[in-house]
Amino acid sequence: MDNTINMDRKPLIYTFNDLGQSLLENVFPKRQSCLFCGSFWYGNKLSAGLCPHCLLKWGRFRQQAKICPMCGSFDGGEPCQGPCAEYHDQHLTRMGSLEAIIAASPYTAVYRQRTLAFKYNGLKMLAAPFAYLMSIAWRGSEAGRHGAAQFSYSGSRAIPCLVPVPLHRDKEALRGYNQSRLLAEAIYRECGFPVKDLLIRPFAGQMQAGLDKRQRQQALAKVYQWSNQAENHRGPVILIDDVVTTGATLESCGQILQERGFGPIWGLTFAGGSGMGADGN
């Protein structure tokens, strides 16, 4: 079964309608609110629902922050005390099955508020601005900067595929969506990387909020599994999730993919934090 995102083109009539609507909005733009700060701007001033002020603030924050290149932590310190701390102690330059984790934003302030609203309050429209910032963060990472030469973004077989972290079917039914897959689909529209559902979560597991990394690893043991209906075309993978705190979820998923011969493997999330008492994975 092909689980790649549907890339079929729209009928021609819809293409013309969309073009006409786009031209109309350029001539007579509507005022829309920024999905982060709520301020109103003409629609043609927004980028993926974000106003220039919020984009500038985000960009400046990333330039000034000391972001860990291994685990993406914004508050890791020197040496980093975030998810990669144990690997530094062993003098390793990668995190188990993962080459690195890239987080677009810190898990604080408006970014934490928006993450929780996206995850628990049904604000699915936040997938677009999250994916927009995640795509910028990926392109600015070491993997993203060198990926054009190493993996060819032009459409070769070696381009990375986006693998969303799966939800248990009961939780997804209750929530109405898997936020990680919404992000993967939106990143596909930004980067063109295909989305593949290579993993499933047949077991619910226990609540992870408040658990440290070791406890989370124990709770996640055998929670994720390889999808029997997945394509087994090995290659590079970008694991997609909304937030990383301890890194246990991404590592658990990465191990399964690594055992299947996939690699290299990275994690890409919207928010990242230390995981000390925070919600996340």
What's the pLDDT score for residue 277?
A: 37
- Residue 7 inside a domain? The answer is no
118 with 44, same domain: the answer is no
Radius of gyration of the chain (CA): 19
203 with 265, same domain: the answer is yes
40 with 99, same domain: the answer is no
- Give the distance from CA 67 to its chain's centroid: 17
Give the residue-averaged pLDDT of 143-157. Answer: 56
114 with 147, same domain: the answer is yes
Question: Which tokens belong to 74?
Answer: 């914004």
60 with 140, same domain: the answer is no
- Residue 19 inside a domain? The answer is no
What mean pLDDT is reported for the chain? Answer: 82
127 with 175, same domain: the answer is yes
pLDDT of 167 higher than 80 = yes
Domain boundary among 64, 86, 106: 64
Give the residue-averaged pLDDT of 41-50. Answer: 89
Domain boundary among 64, 80, 107: 64
Which residue is listed with tokens 């998810």? Answer: 83
pTM of the model: 0.81
Q: Parallel, antiparallel, or unpaired: how do β-strands 225-226 and 237-244 relate?
A: unpaired
Q: Which H or E run includes 270?
A: strand 265-272
What's the pLDDT score for residue 211?
A: 56
52 with 159, same domain: the answer is no
59 with 71, same domain: the answer is no
157 with 185, same domain: the answer is yes
- Residue 1 inside a domain? The answer is no
Q: Parallel, antiparallel, or unpaired: how do β-strands 161-164 and 100-106 relate?
A: unpaired
* DSSP output for 11-32: PHHHHHHHHHHHHHHHHSPPEE
What's the pLDDT score for residue 155?
A: 45
**Of 78-87, 92-101, 154-163, the least confident:** 154-163
pLDDT of 19 higher than 70 = no
Question: Which tokens belong to 165?
Answer: 């972290």
Query: Number of structural domains, the chain?
Result: 2
CA separation for the pair 221, 225 (Å, rounded): 10
Strand partners, 271: 105, 243
What's the pLDDT score for residue 229?
A: 75
> Rounded to whole angstroms, what are the CA distances from 34 to 28, 87, 101, 118, 271?
18, 39, 28, 15, 19
59 with 74, same domain: the answer is no
What's the pLDDT score for residue 184?
A: 98
pLDDT of 94 higher than 80 = yes
What CATH number has the domain bearing residue 219? 3.40.50
What percent of the chain clears pLDDT 90, i.e. is strictly above it?
54
- Residue 58 inside a domain? The answer is yes
Answer for the pair 44, 52: CB distance below 8 angstroms, yes or no: no
Looking at per-residue pLDDT, the higher value among 229 and 121 belongs to 121
Looking at per-residue pLDDT, the higher value among 87 and 187 belongs to 187
Structural domain of residue 207, as residue ranges? 67-272
What's the pLDDT score for residue 159?
A: 85
> Rounded to whole angstroms, what are the CA distances from 110 to 27, 117, 271?
32, 10, 11
46 with 121, same domain: the answer is no
Give the residue-averaged pLDDT of 158-171. Answer: 92
Dihedral over alpha carbons 57, 61, 64, 65 (to 10 degrees): 180
53 with 85, same domain: the answer is no
- Residue 16 inside a domain? The answer is no
pLDDT-based confidence at residue 191 (cuts at 50, 70, 90): very high
Looking at per-residue pLDDT, the higher value among 248 and 233 belongs to 248
